[in-house]
Structure 1
Amino acid sequence: MTTENAQVEEHVLNGVAEDEDVVTPWTVTSVNDSGIDYDKLIKRFGSSRIDDELLTRFEKITGKKPHRFLRRGIFFSHRDMHTILNLYEQGKLFYLYTGRGPSSDAMHLGHLIPFMFCKWLQEVFNVPLIIQLTDDEKAIWKNLNIEDAIKLAYANARDIIACGFNPEKTFIFSNLEHIGNNSAFYQNMIRIQKCVTFNQVKGIFGFGDSDPIAKIAFPPTQAAPAISGSFPFIFKDAKVHCLIPCAIDQDPYFRMTRDVTPRLGFPKPALLHATFFPALQGSKTKMSASDSNTAIFLTDTAKQIKNKINKHAFSGGQATVEEHRQLGGNCEVDISYQWLRFFLEDDERLEQIRKGYTSGEILTGELKKELIDVLQRLVAAHQEAKSRVTNEVIKQYMIPRDLDFKNKARARPEASQLGTASKSETNGTWCDGE
């Protein structure tokens, strides 16, 4: 067994100490008011921190200032990102892969973080993106019927497409619809299944004896898109490197994948790990699509956004105005500030807010108002973009097709042109990167 796979088995849910954070693909809880201890998580998972050296190299090679998610440590950890930069520097090819488990018809802001980032990466590197909708997973874990799970996948696809992905370089698919029509994908699932023992999958994911066998069989399905051979209509017979931006709780799937892919003759996928987008009530857990008061949903009105922030956003301020003026607020736990780190692009303005709130110059109500203004504009722009995503547009993205990978991926844009797509090119959406 490889070191990576052994590390997974060593830190399954059942083996985590009571005083440690719990991070699995299905459960995220923290013992600290400030949220997950990501330094400890890097050590537990055996990944590498995204440091200044990597960011400097990224900017030098791409000619693009790192995205705010990178600058601010929101994407904080990686596996083999230097390999991806080497490939790009050498003019060689790779592709992006991320996904979404559609558990509700309304996505919230936290769900969009990897898609915002993937859109920016797609523009910077000029590469294809594959988006897997794991409606099969949700049918298993949420006990949905197949038809309802597929409907949720299509509803979520509409929100994802509203981010403005290039349709000529983006393939989105529903597992429940696509796998039966793609023999190469299914064949790779079987190859992966043959490489992972029952004891290994129990150790990696913490499955119990009473879990349905569908859960045990699912991980190879999420692993298969990291193998370029699963998409012969895109990559032909090329064995292409894959880069996966995802939240850190998805890492167990891909540690398993990295153990298997070399045995199948394909390169290990590289990963970029994101921190969790905190719930309105605080950073101890991530948002929940099943509790509307923990999140801002992409269907919320401006009034709903204002009311949720004012009523539910956890404050790092003091009990009274006088105490706050004297002692200042705590940005580490204040949700309004933490959310601004995700969505406010202006670094100087964010630093002004941090200093003002910490010193007591800015009150909690003023900080919440700043966030409300940002989110109202953001969600309104997304809703406008989504209104233009018709059923025909969704079909365009979901038809298996040749993305002209080898020709277009080599046509690397000049550094001065990276990330400068016009509003018409990106559907005018708010998640068009910088």
Structure 2
Amino acid sequence: MCIYIVFNLVLLLLVSVKKMTDCQADGEGANSPMELYEKLNAQGEKVRSLKTAKAEKAEIDAAVQLLLKLKVDYKQMTGNDYKAGCPPSENVVMSDNGPAADGADDEDTVDPWNVATSNAKGVDYDKLIVRFGSSKIDQELVDRIEKFSGQRPHRFLRRGIFFSHRDMHQVLDAYEKSKSFYLYTGRGPSSEAMHVGHLIPFIFTKWLQDVFDIPLVIQLTDDEKYLWKDLTLEECRRFAVENAKDIIACGFDVNKTFIFSDLDYMGASPEFYRNVVKIQKHVTFNQVKGIFGFTDSDCIGKISFPAIQAAPSFSNSFPQIFGGKKDIQCLIPCAIDQDPYFRMTRDVAPRIGYPKPALLHSTFFPALQGAQTKMSASDANSSIFLTDTPKQIKNKVNKHAFSGGKDTVEEHRKYGGNADVDVSFMYLTFFLEDDEQLEKIKQDYTSGALLTGELKKILIETLQPMIAQHQERRKQVTDEMVQQFMTPRPLNFNF
């Protein structure tokens, strides 16, 4: 086994070196913005040709990854996004950031526990796609989802909030052949009250469940919170139940949804625990350190949790639901910071005879103070909580929401605001359904016709009824309903 692991590590190293060499060779000679622009045009044409010719998926993905890398290089060189048909100005000033260009990813910290960036616009998601090795959700994929779901794409897809994926095309290929799939997402219950950022994966997961008519499992990692947070077992259990009520209030179908607590389910399901130990056996200490950035001391306490979070990706972890079948495809909607768990899962899956889970990644929901970090449940003023009153929502937005407006009304009317860094506008991109209304708000704010206070008022009037309606639905969720959702049982579907 050790020889096998060493051999694989050496092989992976050689492949990585080869890829790096290839990328460097492809990028050579782009010494000016115009040369890089021409390379981008050529690479874009290559991607289109490969897709038209229905080339192998691996070849298309490699070409797309190089295209994304060139776009990142172009933005680094010129300070502007690449746009086909819009060559760079002859007077463009080339960026000269020295060695920082190679380490640009260091500006963004993205892992399952920390998200931070120095950019007021937030994390550079194009760079993150390249670094994580995922694929961009392009218009072709959005169109395919619309075709098979029979519904207009969710606003999260239309606006690029879910922006990256792994193997979603394979899920749709199988679905086209009448082979269904199931959904898996989760929540770490570290507090009694959830905030609006926590709703994003659940809002989208409910839409997927509805339009594809498929089952869903939701994991509550209360065991993880007990070991990592200063909480008692009783508190973790209570938080899990309270968070389950907020999740149920999103409108999930009880006949197609199973919510489970790790503390309860793992001891009651030998099949789930067997998968956990299978995964653990196939993950090396160094692999966990490398993927998650753990130190040696971290690994002592944390090495088991990637396996616990991986196990729901495999259908035979839920024998009451899937009848022991182990070949049912899993699709995981989650924020991009959770991807390290599932990179490991996808590496292990074929070695233990299971299909790799597919993923859909979302951007981060920013803190009120700006997009440099995501919301924190431990900072009441960084978040709009689902328990907030209309008055609290109004006060938080007016007092804490970072503004992209100018310092004075006169300056704002003259120069306009920056919607790309304005938190109120960012929140509206998540929650305002009307695309035309959202675009008009952006145009008015950018031109100076709409003031910061007026923009905040629009957000307040959007959030207050949304949260009030959620609170009303949550009042209807009884302990008996929670127990029904959390009882292992056959769900209403046929594979």
Normalised to the residue count of structure 2, the TM-score between the two structures is 0.79
| Superimposed CA distance per residue, residues 282-328 of structure 1 (whole angstroms, 9 cap, x where no aligned partner) | 00000000000000000000000000000000000000001001100
> Within 5 Å, which residues of 2 pair with 1:333-348?
333-348=421-436
Q: Percent identity?
A: 65
Partner of 2:229: 142
Q: Alignment partner for residue 377 of structure 1, among 451, 465, 476?
A: 465
The structure carrying a bigger helix percent of its residues is 2
Q: Which letter does structure 1 place at the counterpart of 2:351?
A: R
The within-5 A match list for 1:245-260 is 245-260=333-348
Query: 1:203-282 residue pairs with structure 2 within 5 A?
Result: 203-211=290-298, 213-238=300-325, 239-282=327-370
Does residue 159 (structure 1) correspond to residue 212 (structure 2)? The answer is no
What residue in structure 1 maps to residue 442 of structure 2? 354
Equivalent residue for 1:325, pick from 409, 413, 431: 413
Which string of whole-angstrom CA distances, capped at 9 and with x for unpartnered residues, describes residues 344-367 of structure 1? 001110011010000000000000
Displacement after TM superposition at 1:147 (Å): 1.9
Q: TM-score, normalised by structure 1?
A: 0.90
| 8 A Cα contact 1:244 1:271, kept in partner | yes
Cα shift readout 1:243-279 (whole Å, capped 9, x = no counterpart): 0000000000000000011111111000000000000
Matches of 2:485 and 2:111, distance apart in 1:
30
User: For 2:103 and 2:249, how far apart are their aligned partners in 1?
Assistant: 39
Counterpart for residue 421 of structure 1: none
Aligned partner of 1:61: which letter?
F
Tell me, in whole angstroms, the C-alpha distance in 1 between the residues paired with 2:187 and 2:345. Answer: 18
The answer on 1:95 being equivalent to 2:182 is yes
- Residue 279 of structure 2: aligned partner: 192
Alpha-carbon distance between aligned partners in 2 of 1:89 and 1:64, rounded to the nearest angstrom: 16
In structure 2, stretches of 5+ residues that fail to align are: 1-7, 21-101
Q: Cα offset for 1:213?
A: 2.4
SS of residue paired to 1:330:
coil
RMSD: 1.7
Q: CA–CA distance in 2 between the matches of 1:174 and 1:234?
A: 16
Q: Distance in 1 between matches of 2:324 and 2:249?
A: 31
- Decide which structure has the larger Cα Rg and report it: 2
Q: Is the 8 A contact 2:105 2:127 kept in 1?
A: no
Count of aligned pairs: 400
Please state how far the C-alpha of 1:188 moved relative to its aligned partner.
Answer: 0.2
Please give the per-residue CA displacement for 1:387-411, whole angstroms capped at 9, x wherever unaligned.
Answer: 00000010010000011432xx6xx
Greater relative contact order: 1 or 2 (C-alpha under 8 angstroms, separation 6 or more)? 1
Which moved further from structure 2: 216-225 or 205-214? 205-214
SS at match of 1:99: strand
Q: Which runs of 5+ in 1 are unaligned?
A: 410-434
Question: Separation in 2 of the partners of 1:201 and 1:59?
Answer: 37
Which segments of structure 1 move beyond 6 Å, counting only runs of 4 or more? 15-18
Quote the residue 2:151 is aligned against: 64
- Distance, in Å, in 1 between the alignment partners of 2:250 and 2:492 is 22
Q: Which amino acid aligns with 1:37?
A: D
Give the match for residue 104 of structure 1: 191
Do the aligned partners of 2:189 and 2:221 also contact (CA within 8 Å) in 1? yes
Question: AA paired with 1:273?
Answer: H
Question: What one-letter code is carried by the residue in structure 2 that aligns with 1:272?
Answer: L
Residue 31 (structure 1) shift: 2.0
Contact 1:107 1:298 in 2 (8 A): yes
Amino acid at match of 1:391: D
Question: For residue 460 of structure 2, what is the amino acid of its counterpart?
Answer: I
